[in-house]
Structure 1
Amino acid sequence: MVKITFKAQSGAAWEVEAEPGVSVMSVAVKHRVPVILGACGGSQACGTCHAYVAEPWCSTLPPRGDVEQEMLDFAFDVQPNSRLTCQVRVTPELDGVVITLPPS
C-alpha cells in the first residue's frame, strides 16, 4: 500500500492508503476528500480534480499530456506543480506523497 496525504488550504489533512495502479483522483473520491470531485470520472474533461503535488514527488511524475495541460489552462490558481489527479497513477515511488488541494 502507498501512503498519500491530502492537505486542504485550511490545514486539515487526510492520510489514506492506496493500491498501486489506481488514479490519485479515485483514491480521493473513495475517501471523500473534499474539493477533488472528479466530476468527469477521470476523462480529463472537467478539471475538478486539480491539485498540487509536492516535491520531491512532482518531479518523478511523467510530464503533463497535451489534454491535461489544456484543462489546466482553464483552472484557477495553477502552479508549476499543478496536476489533474485523474492523470496521476499511484506507484510505489509516490509513497508518502503530499497532495495539496487548491483554494475552493
Structure 2
Amino acid sequence: MQATWKLPNGQAITLDVAEGTNLMQAAVARGIPGVVGECGGSLSCATCHVVVAPDWADRAGPPGAFEEDMLDITEAERQPSSRLSCQIRMSADLDGIVVSVPAP
C-alpha cells in the first residue's frame, strides 16, 4: 500500500506503508521533512500535523475528540481536513492516500 506526502516546496514523496502502520511512523522512519512525531504517536503533541487531500478526507475519517484538541495547537494553520498523521492507520481503504505537510 502506498501513501504520498506533498511537501511545502512542491515535492511529493510516495512510500510503501504496511497495513496497520500509522502515517506518522512511516514518515518519521523515512525522514519526511516537516513530520516530527515528537511524542511518538501518543497524541500529546501536534508535530505530525498533515492536511488530508479532499478526495481522501472521508476515507481517512474525522479526528477524534483528543485529536481535535491537539489540532487546535498546531504550528501551521489548521485546515478543514487537518489530521494528526499518528492517528491515520494505513489500510486497504487508504491505499494511495495523499496528505500535505503544511508549511510552519
Q: Normalising by the residue count of structure 2, what TM-score does the alignment of the two structures yield?
A: 0.94
1:59 CA displacement: 0.7
Question: Across the two proteins, how many residue pairs are aligned to each other?
Answer: 103
Query: Structure 1: any 5+ residue segments left out of the alignment?
Result: none
2:68 corresponds to 1:69: yes
1:96 CA displacement: 1.2
Quote the RMSD (CA, aligned, Å).
0.9
Q: What CA deviation, in whole Å up to 9, does each residue of 1:26-54 have, x standing for no partner?
A: 01011110100000000111100000111
2:41 corresponds to 1:45: no
Task: Name the CA distance, whole Å, in 1 between partners of 2:56 and 2:93.
Answer: 8
Cross-structure match for 1:88: 88
Q: Normalising by the residue count of structure 1, what TM-score does the alignment of the two structures yield?
A: 0.94
Task: Name the CA distance, whole Å, in 1 between partners of 2:16 and 2:37.
Answer: 18
One-letter code aligned to 1:95:
D
Query: Structure 2: any 5+ residue segments left out of the alignment?
Result: none
Task: Name the CA distance, whole Å, in 1 between partners of 2:91 and 2:57.
Answer: 12
Task: Name the CA distance, whole Å, in 2 between partners of 1:12 and 1:64.
Answer: 26
One-letter code aligned to 2:73:
F
The runs of at least 4 aligned residues of structure 1 exceeding 2 Å deviation read: none
